[in-house]
Amino acid sequence: MKNIVDNICAVRAQITQAAQCAGRAPQSIQLLAVSKTRQADELRQAFAAGQQAFGENYLQEGLDKIAALADLAIEWHFIGPIQSNKTRPIAEHFHWVHSVDRTKVARRLSEQRPANLAPLNICLQVNISAEASKSGCLPADAMALAREVAQLPRLRLRGLMAIPAATDDPKQQQQAFGDLRKLLQRLQAELPQLDTLSMGMSADLEAAIGEGASIVRIGTAIFGPRNYSSNPQESPS
């Protein structure tokens, strides 16, 4: 338990320092703990340390944790690729979805969101680095998609999410995150309610915060390294 608690404290300190360097209020940045492949008891430890928002990539794994941790007031974020035939449980059990990249999925989420729940918070995933291996709409298509999603009744379009090409070069990190920020600004000219940039992971959160991230998705720095041998297409967060 001590490691997870200490790690959360260290990440929050890192966020505070990066925010101050960027002239931003640290409280304007939400820490999303990426908990894929982690056990429910590890999430309990993180929750006990004050972490309330958790991000899951794999649907069945996420649903199992939601059931196991139903006694905790957790805010659940779905951040993985979405198969259109699996939208119903996402619509029924999550508070946020960061990975909407096509209208069909958004429409299904809207239709399947229970009427007794608040509208589902949505981020559009943008393939900001135009990588063939990455999900996400192209930047040129983001405005048309945003217009369509914003009209759906059971959704609340919040902003954009991206996973830029991995690099250790701070200038390249800054460029990619800056491109996403500028794209959001263009969308805000027509859709001023957009307020969210979900970007930045363990290796590049400083650059993301410097370019305006409002949600940073941190997994490794909180829970330690993962074994990706069974999911070779997955990348660290």
The pLDDT value given to residue 134: 86
pLDDT at 215 over 90: yes
**Contact call for residues 214 and 28 (beta carbons, < 8 A):** yes
> How far apart (Å, rounded) are the C-alpha atoms in residues 69 and 138?
36
The pLDDT value given to residue 133: 82
Q: What is the pLDDT of residues 163-200, one digit of tens each?
A: 999 999 999 999 999 999 999 999 999 999 999 999 99
Mean pLDDT of all residues in 96-107: 98
Q: What is the pLDDT of residues 61-100, one digit of tens each?
A: 999 999 999 999 999 999 999 999 999 999 999 999 999 9
pLDDT at 35 over 80: yes
- Identity (one letter) of the amino acid at 197? L
pLDDT at 103 over 60: yes
Mean pLDDT of all residues in 34-52: 97
- Look at residue 215 and give its three-state secondary structure: strand
Q: What is the pLDDT of residues 126-158, one digit of tens each?
A: 999 888 888 899 999 999 999 999 999 999 999
Cα 120 to its chain centre, rounded Å, is: 14
pLDDT at 232 over 80: no
pLDDT at 115 over 80: yes
- What domains lie within the chain, and their CATH numbers? 2-223 (3.20.20.10)
- Determine what percent of the chain falls in helix, strand and coil, rounding each to the nearest 5: 45, 15, 40
End-to-end CA, the chain: 21
pLDDT at 236 over 50: no
Q: Supply the mean pLDDT for the chain.
A: 94
- Identity (one letter) of the amino acid at 107? R
List C-alpha distances in Å: 208 to 29, 52, 172, 173: 11, 21, 11, 8
Per-residue confidence at 228, pLDDT binned at 50, 70, 90? low
The pLDDT value given to residue 235: 41
> How far apart (Å, rounded) are the C-alpha atoms in residues 214 and 200?
9
Q: Report percent pLDDT > 70 for the chain.
A: 95
Residue 118 tokens read as 């608040």
